[in-house]
Amino acid sequence: MNQYDSCWLRYERVPKGRLDSYRRRCLHAYVAEKAPELSAVRDELRRALPELLGRDPHFWQHPPTTTDGFLAIGTPDDMAMIAESVGTDVVDDLADGGYLLRSVTWNGQDCLVVTAPTDRGLVYGTFHLLRLLNTHEPVDDLDVCEEPTYENRLLNQWDTPFHRSVERGYGGESIFDWERLPDLRPRYEDYARLLASIGINGIVFNNVNTTKPERASANAAFDAFEGWQLLESHRLEAFTSLASVFRRYGIRPYLSVNFAAPMLVGDLDTADPLDEDVRAWWRAKADEIYELVPDFGGFLVKADSEGQPGPYDYGRDHVDGANAIARALEPHDGRVWWRAFVYGTHEDRAVQAYDTFQPLDGDFADNVTVQIKNGPIDFQPREPVSTLFGAMPETDLGLELQITQEYTGQGVHATYHLPMWNEIFAFDTHADGPGSPVHSLFRGDGEGIVGVGSVGEDHSWTGTYLAQANLYAFGRVAWDPEMPAETVTEEWVRQTFGTDENVVDTVTRILHDSWEACIDYETGGLGLMHMMHNGEEHLENHFYPSPDEWPGYHGATDEGIGVNRTSTGSGYAGQYRGPVAGRYESVEDCPEELLLFFHHLPWTHELEDGTTVVQRLYDNCFAGVEQARQLRDEWQSLDGEIDERRFRHVAERFDEQVAQAERWRDVLTDYFYEHSGVPDEQGRVGND
Ligand code: GCU
């Protein structure tokens, strides 16, 4: 038995009602031979079917000649039965990763077919079928056709190699033990299974910070960035074993690299991207990698940001930097994911990414993707969407979301990110006129969705069991951003906690209400942000309230609060397309939930319903705590309905979350009172 949790891949005995139909179609199975992915499919069925069906299935070595029904998994080329019962053309038309599930009658028997044009699609199709069985869905009339919306669905693992730590990871130390490679741990395969089951097709194994930045040398959390070493030849050889685990699940391996690698790993005295020796070094390194790992996906680069080296060190720009590395990967079908998370000279950091990257549109090489965080600041509980979305039509773009809860309660709070992501995806950028939602972008070849990962050594993988839902939901929205939130969440709850309707409803409700609660007690709402403590200790950093530390982000003065990002301020609002810019520019039209992100307003400014700004902030802080208490009570109502281990674990974290929410409320409301001098109308603040 695993010493760690199975997350949503726990296979438990199906109840009687469904069992007959499942057994009829699945107790004989044939999985085509050939690719490594198909051996993974077979292994998964061997794990799942005996548990689900209470019987050992018979795996045929050849296409079955049984008079019973059977489950057939393969491409139409693999099996005549598949080609004849489903048709070759319909399968061939599917994108990479797409698949079909069909119930068919073959030789008078009830059978099931999982088919796809690629082996990766067979992996996804198999996991889809197991999800149906695991959640007791009917399969007698199955006709499912799925294709991923985005070509690239990548996980960015911020692990710091050789130190077993994970930057902004709250699930314990890293699961990856680089020192011991090529030795493998069972956990690697289980991680690959979890990722493949939700459609992830690439993983960047190491932190974007690949060296220890000078600026942070006194900060323990930043102490040991040595990811650049992964490009050393002996490390790359060891890496092949890890890559082969993920390959079986259709997941391409990637590495974060240091822009100065030609100096750090090689012995050049420059990393100038226009230097011929530097270019030759990258070419040779790429050749070496692809010789060892033929399906290598490419490099992720954080350059000229937070102490990481970059092209500016040589008077070059981001195009020079990205293209030099991309050229080395190009013959191998590799890609550079180049991050747009940069700082600069602007006092308002929100302005920077657009200012730096938009003018470069059209100049990046075909195999460069510019990877952009969802908002202009940094994964805050709520931000407006980045102005770069839809603003670089000639460039491949990637959307970066944070799965890990850096600013949303870390390994303690239940904060479900799916409602936030859905808000982002639905936002109309007007990039192609009205009706250009964010989800319609990132769909081209070389584009995609990226999630900053959350797993670690903890039994729960993610630090708290409910945070597994964020990882699950990320994979599902990266597959289909228009899937209703309820569908995604209920899928997760049913697989994770069982199909009891009360449990499903309660956990779903808790998750869906959690994000707004966090916004309210951690910010007061109205678009405020970044009032967190920037502590020395990893687990303190961005966890506790400390509004004094970063006045620039919320703009509180004795006169008012908020940051003027209109044309009379930093001008950030003007970076959006016309109608969006107009809406944000105007105090009257700006949506209330972002009002203070765009405007600096007097504390007593009246909102639409007549409430003053400061009163709304008080009210929201108190409401957030009430909501956190409500979430805790709802969880408590599940005592006895969920296994003791997971029930207690989450219950204890809810107790801490409520205490923490109260602390946030008290610190923030005191701070608002201290600056505004306006007491709370309900006598809760400033009336003693
Ligand atoms: C945030 C985060 C850092 C991270 C950075 C990034 O600032 O706190 O830990 O390195 O984002 O995205 O590069």
Indicate the fold that domain 519-563+600-676 takes in CATH. Answer: Alpha-d-glucuronidase, C-terminal Domain (3.90.1330)
Query: In a 3-state reduction of DSSP, which class is residue 394?
Result: coil
Dist. CA 208–CA 220, nearest whole Å: 17
Ligand 1: which of 215, 300, 341 to mutate, judged by most atoms within 8 Å of the beta carbon?
Answer: 341
Ligand 1 nearest-atom number relative to CA 167: 9
- Helix (H) / strand (E) containing 106: strand 99-106
Q: What's the one-letter identity of residue 454?
A: S
Task: Based on the residue annotation, tell me whether 287 is a catalytic residue of this protein.
Answer: no
Contact, 5 vs 460, CB < 8 A?
Answer: yes
Which protein residue's CA is at the shortest distance from atom 12 of ligand 1? 341
Residue 688: pLDDT above 70? no
Ligand 1 nearest-atom number relative to CA 221: 9
**What's the confidence (pLDDT) of residue 219?**
43
Residue 222: pLDDT above 50? no
Using pLDDT thresholds of 50, 70 and 90, give the confidence band for residue 211: confident
Ligand 1 nearest-atom number relative to CA 541: 8
DSSP designation for 464: S
Contact, 319 vs 266, CB < 8 A?
Answer: no
Measure 415 CA to ligand 1 centroid, in angstroms: 19
**What's the confidence (pLDDT) of residue 570?**
97
Ligand 1 nearest-atom number relative to CA 302: 13
Ligand 1: which of 158, 378, 529, 530 to mutate, judged by most atoms within 8 Å of the beta carbon?
Answer: 378
Question: Residue 57, preceding bond cis, omega within 30 degrees?
Answer: no
Measure 589 CA to ligand 1 centroid, in angstroms: 32
Measure 270 CA to ligand 1 centroid, in angstroms: 26
Measure 51 CA to ligand 1 centroid, in angstroms: 42
CB proximity list for 630: less than 8 A, separation 6 or greater: 513
The dihedral sign for the CA sequence 583, 586, 592, 594: positive
Phi, psi for residue 460 in degrees, rounded to 5? -80, -5
Task: Based on the residue annotation, tell me whether 609 is a catalytic residue of this protein.
Answer: no
Measure 473 CA to ligand 1 centroid, in angstroms: 22
Ligand 1: which of 302, 306, 383 to mutate, judged by most atoms within 8 Å of the beta carbon?
Answer: 306
Single out the catalytic residue among 68, 223, 306, 549.
306
Ligand 1 nearest-atom number relative to CA 209: 10
**What's the confidence (pLDDT) of residue 218?**
42
Ligand 1 nearest-atom number relative to CA 406: 8
Q: Which two tokens stand for residue 368?
A: 């460069």
pLDDT in tens, 64-74: 887 789 999 99
Which protein residue's CA is at the shortest distance from atom 7 of ligand 1? 378
**What's the confidence (pLDDT) of residue 340?**
98
Measure 4 CA to ligand 1 centroid, in angstroms: 28
Using pLDDT thresholds of 50, 70 and 90, give the confidence band for residue 220: very low
DSSP designation for 218: T
Measure 175 CA to ligand 1 centroid, in angstroms: 20
Q: How far from 59 is each of 42, 70, 548, CA to CA, in Å?
A: 8, 10, 64
CB atoms within 10 A of CB 487: 11
pLDDT in tens, 509-530: 999 999 999 999 999 999 999 9
Ligand 1: which of 160, 166, 168, 373 to mutate, judged by most atoms within 8 Å of the beta carbon?
Answer: 168
Residue 213: pLDDT above 70? no
**What's the confidence (pLDDT) of residue 512?**
98
What CATH code would you report for 152-385+397-426+451-484? 3.20.20.80
| CATH, domain 16-146, list 3.40.50.1100, 3.40.50.300, 3.40.50.720, 3.30.379.10 | 3.30.379.10
CB proximity list for 650: less than 8 A, separation 6 or greater: 414, 464, 465, 466, 635
Comparing 61-75, 152-166, 308-322, 403-417, the range with the smallest average pLDDT is: 61-75
Ligand 1 nearest-atom number relative to CA 542: 8
Which protein residue's CA is at the shortest distance from atom 11 of ligand 1? 378
**What's the confidence (pLDDT) of residue 537?**
80
Helix %, strand %, coil % for the chain, to 5?
Answer: 45, 15, 45
- Determine if the pTM surpasses 0.85: yes
Using pLDDT thresholds of 50, 70 and 90, give the confidence band for residue 225: low
Single out the catalytic residue among 77, 147, 173, 378.
378
pLDDT in tens, 361-402: 999 999 999 999 999 999 999 999 999 999 999 999 999 999
The percent of residues in the chain predicted with pLDDT above 90, rounded, is: 92
Buried b (16+ CB within 10 A) or exposed e, 372-396: bbbbbbbbbbbbbbbbbbbbbeebb
Single out the catalytic residue among 396, 406, 447, 680.
406
pLDDT in tens, 93-131: 999 999 999 999 999 999 999 999 999 999 999 999 999
Which of left, alpha, beta for 222 (phi over 0: left; psi -120 to 50: alpha)? alpha
First to last CA, the chain: 58
Using pLDDT thresholds of 50, 70 and 90, give the confidence band for residue 536: confident
Residues with beta carbon inside 6 Å of ligand 1? 167-168, 208-209, 302, 306, 341, 378, 406
> For the purposes of burial, counting CB atoms within 10 Å of the CB of 19, is it exposed (0-12), middle (13-18) or buried (19 or more)?
middle
Contact, 251 vs 200, CB < 8 A?
Answer: yes
Q: Where are the domains of the chain?
A: 16-146, 152-385+397-426+451-484, 519-563+600-676
pLDDT in tens, 310-364: 999 999 999 999 999 999 999 999 999 999 999 888 889 999 999 999 999 999 9
Which residue shows structure tokens 């690299």?
A: 257
CB atoms within 10 A of CB 208: 27
Q: Which two tokens stand for residue 333?
A: 């079908």
Measure 534 CA to ligand 1 centroid, in angstroms: 12
Dist. CA 468–CA 640, nearest whole Å: 21
CB proximity list for 276: less than 8 A, separation 6 or greater: none
Task: Based on the residue annotation, tell me whether 406 is a catalytic residue of this protein.
Answer: yes
Nearest 10 degrees: Cα torsion 170, 174, 175, 178: 170
The predicted model gives 251-267 an average pLDDT of 97
**What's the confidence (pLDDT) of residue 221?**
45
Measure 361 CA to ligand 1 centroid, in angstroms: 24
Which residue shows structure tokens 């993920």?
A: 246
Dist. CA 452–CA 321, nearest whole Å: 23
Dist. CA 386–CA 537, nearest whole Å: 30
Q: Which two tokens stand for residue 175?
A: 């699961």
Buried b (16+ CB within 10 A) or exposed e, 496-519: bbbbeeebbebbbebbebbbbbbb
DSSP string covering 68-93: S--EEES-TTT-HHHHHHH-HHHHHT
- Helix (H) / strand (E) containing 301: strand 298-301
CB proximity list for 375: less than 8 A, separation 6 or greater: 383, 384, 385, 386
